[in-house]
Amino acid sequence: MSEIIGFKVGEEIIDTQTAQERGLSGEEIIFDNSIESLSIIRHSCAHLMAQAIKELYPDAKFFVGPVVDEGFYYDFKTTSKISEEDLPKIEKQMKEIAKKKLPINKSVMSRQEAMEKFKNDELKQAVMSRITGDSFGIYSQGDFEDLCRGPHLPNTRFLHSFKLTKLAGAYLGGDEKAEMLIRIYGIAFADKETLNAYLTQIEEAKKRDHRKIGTEMGLFTFDEEVGAGLPIWLPKGARLRRRIEELLTKALMIRDYEPVRGPEILKSSVWKISGHYDNYGENMYFTTIDDVEYGIKPMNCVGHVKVYQSSIRSYRELPLRFYEYGVVHRHEKSGVLHGLLRVREFTQDDAHIFCRPEQIKAEVSNIIAFTDSIMQAFGFHYEMELATRPEKSIGEDRVWEVATQALVDALQEHKISYKIDEGGGAFYGPKIDIKITDAIGRKWQCGTVQIDMNLPHRFMLEYVDENNQMQEPVMIHRAILGSFERFSAILTEHFGGEFPFFIAPTQIVLIPISENQHTYAEELRKQIIALGAYAEVMDKNETLNKKIRNAEKQRVPMILVIGEKEQQSGTLAIRDRREKSQYEMKESEFLNMIEKKMREVSF
């Protein structure tokens, strides 16, 4: 029988010692790979790592060591130089400590006692300055102790399935002006089998890294002269993106969305009306024109509000569905930028729907169905999460209740099981977050559906109802892909660069064996492009084998080798990399097949 390592009391997770001291009991947490159990395991493993570091580098001082989505980390500093090559040594020391089966004990100190105890430790002083209250939890194991609120395992013997994964730099408290600390990340599970499966996934993820594949395939690049977090789309990446846009645009037109476009900078006065200035200002960029402050848009919603305000609206017009592939800018700290997944400029597949309150459920239901068709086209499994009102928010309770219930009703209508993210909503309304699972089991946050009854109120939006009375519409924010940058990165890693034919940047490579076949290859290329696909002719002065290898490296779905025989007979020799086969086909049949392939996928 698995051992009990803690309890879940309401939303709080506590360890067994804390439960005993406070006389509390709740849902038992046993030693396994559940979310609650892993939280305790990884929290304890962070302290185990800190203890090992302290033994190896006695002058080490520690800041914080939280549990995060990717495992755990600890920020610390030492006069010793530590690199990735030192991680196995630290890991070995952790295993030696764990084998000692050290009890993990909690005690409590007053602020005064803690300040005195850690008076020579500036990092601990920094930790305590960020915590309110007059008492601090202290967890100790052997001769190591640290400030911590827990929860922790009762003994280090539980810790046997862990791995240190990477080393990075981190500013103290995330402040770019503060001191740079060392951050070591790790992962831990309840058993070695799960750990090994995770490590296998990580190795596979490295092979699929969109930054590596993007460089190999020439999809995108970054340039320090341009600026960090500002992607530059190269021709092949732009073709991939354009194809997704084409499919999406056609689907939007069928669903009665209207294209609009708002400016990329708007006066700060409108951002103050919307609430972004106060609630989101730290993530925005500002500039001054003619002594007037402007904000570069982090979202497209205010521009779409202005589209709505451009005309008197009648209830007969509603719902109004506006879409825009809107370029937005958001301030991201340098340390969190990550290829196309986290950038400072990106393009959202954004839409805003203005409707009557009684139309909310139907509109959200349509969005859910639309989402399903897109995810099926790419072969993604997905789940949805309902995010409720956060602490930092605007609007009346009644408005939030109505909006949240509409989302619940739409989810239930589609018989979609969903999780609830308490307090995870936008500051202006509740939302549904769309999370997809890729080919190696990783989950990605992509699209979102957000109900907003606050922006219409702030901008005094109105429509004339059937009784000739002025009413306030509801606004729905909607993005399914999220952003073209992030979605392209996810697609690249999901397919490992082996994009399906309908979106591949280069779908066909034509390789003429000699100059005599070059003209024929170019004519065939033009016919392929006329069908909406993209083909390249490899005419460099290289051997046939090298041309084929280069096409293979580019992960092109189809390679056609054209010699005199093929030119004379009109029969094409096809290497189909997706089907992993080789076959021959008449030119006319081949072109018909390409035309069919370009039509067989739609949203």
Q: Which residues are catalytic?
A: 301, 330, 348, 350, 352, 431, 477
Pair 284, 296: CB distance under 8 Å: yes
Q: How far is CA 370 from CA 219, 449, 532, in A?
A: 28, 12, 24
Q: How far apart are CA 487 and CA 321, in angstroms?
A: 22
| Spatial distance between the Cα atoms of 489 and 497, rounded to a whole number of angstroms | 10
Distances in Å between the alpha carbon of 55 and those of 4, 61, 148, 152, 182? Answer: 30, 12, 19, 20, 16
> 434 and 382 in contact (C-beta within 8 Å)?
yes
| Exposed / middle / buried, residue 392 (Cβ in 10 Å: 0-12, 13-18, 19+) | exposed
Cα–Cα distances in angstroms (integers) from residue 5 to residues 264, 306, 521, in the given order: 53, 55, 68
* DSSP label at residue 468: S
Cα distance between residue 543 and residue 548, in whole Å? 9
- Inter-residue contact 521 to 537 (CB < 8 Å): yes
Distance CA 534, CA 547 (A): 18
CA atoms of 66 and 89, how far apart (whole Å): 22
